[in-house]
Amino acid sequence: MSGETKYLWMDGELKHWNEGSIHVMSHALHYGSSFFEGIKCYETSQGPAVFRLKEHMIRLHESASIYNMSLPFSVEELVKAVKDLIKVNNLKSCYIRPVAFYGYDTLGVHPKKCPIQIAIATFDWGAYLGEGAIENGVRVTISPWRKFHSSSLPTVAKAGGQYLNSILAAQDAQEKGYDEGLLLNGDGNIAEGAGQNIFIIKNNEIYTNAEDSCILMGITRETIIQLLMDLGYKVHIGKLSLGQLFNADEAFFTGTASEVTPIREVDKRSIGDGKPGAITQLIQETYFDVIKGRNNKYDHWLSYIK
C-alpha cells in the first residue's frame, strides 16, 4: 500500500513491513474474528504525539473481551509498542492501525485453540474522505442497508467482521457518486456513517446519539462532546431523526480518520447553506489545536514520542 513504513510490530517483535504475514487458513480471514483501532500521531512543536493512545488500547482490549478473547499483551505493552514503532520508523506524523485476531488452528466457527495474534502498523493515509473534505464538507447519501442491532452483534465492539455492514454502505455511496453513506438503525433513526459518528446543530445547540442508537462509542465523538461543553455549548444526547438532519443548520462527522468533517449535503438536500457552518468551523479549529499540542489544557490526551 502507499505510505507504508519500514517496520511494523507483530506479536512482540519489530519486523520489516513485508514480513507482516499470516496463514491463509487463519480464523480471522474466514470469520472476521479480529478487533482493531484507528489512531493518529500528529506533528507538534514538542515532537510527534499520539492522540488518546491509551484510550484506544483500552477499547481494543474491551472489544476483544466482549468476544471472550484475552489479549496476550497489556495496554501498557501495546502503548510502548506504538511508541517504539514510531521511533524506529522515524515518523513525525502517521496513522496507526493495531489489529488483534485469531490465527490458524481450526476452521470451526468456535476459535478453540486458535492463537491470538496482534500486529501494529504505521503509515500515511492522507485525507480519509478525500482531498478538501475537511475544508469544504462532504456529500452523503442514506444507505439502503440498516445498521445491525445491538441484540445481534455488540455495536460497542470495534470488530472486523462487523464492518461488512459498513462496507456495503460505503460501496453504495461510492457507486451513487457520494463521499460517504449514512446508516439508519432498525427503528429508522440515524445510527452513524460507514466509519464515523454524527453531530447535528440547530439553533446553536448540538445533538448526537447514544449507544442505544446502535453506534460505536467513538473516542473522537467523546472528545468532541467534551470540547463543545467546555466551549459553553449545550449537547443533547438522544435519538436523531432524518427530519432533524434535513432541517439542521449544520452537521458534521467525527472519527479518528475523518477528524471533524462537515456534511454539506444529504441526498441532494443542502445542510444549512451548503457550506461548513460557524460552529463546525470552531470545533474543527479547537480540535486541531488540541491534537497538535497547541492547547495545554488537553495535553493529558497526548502521548509524546521523545
Closest listed residue to residue 230, CA positions, set 169, 290, 302: 290
Q: Which residues pair with 237 in a beta bridge?
A: 208
CA 68 to chain CA centroid, nearest Å: 22
Q: How far apart are the first and last CA of the chain?
A: 28
* DSSP code for 276: -
| Grid coordinates belonging to 29 | 480471514
Answer for the pair 219, 247: CB distance below 8 angstroms, yes or no: no
Based on the residue annotation, tell me whether 40 is a catalytic residue of this protein. Answer: no
| Grid coordinates belonging to 291 | 491534537
- Of 92, 158, 292, 297, the catalytic one is 158
Residue 253 to residue 134: CA distance in whole angstroms = 10
Residue 171 to residue 169: CA distance in whole angstroms = 6
Residue 41 to residue 1: CA distance in whole angstroms = 19
Q: Name the helix (H) or strand (E) containing 201.
A: strand 197-202
Residue 15 to residue 5: CA distance in whole angstroms = 11
Which residues belong to the active site? 158
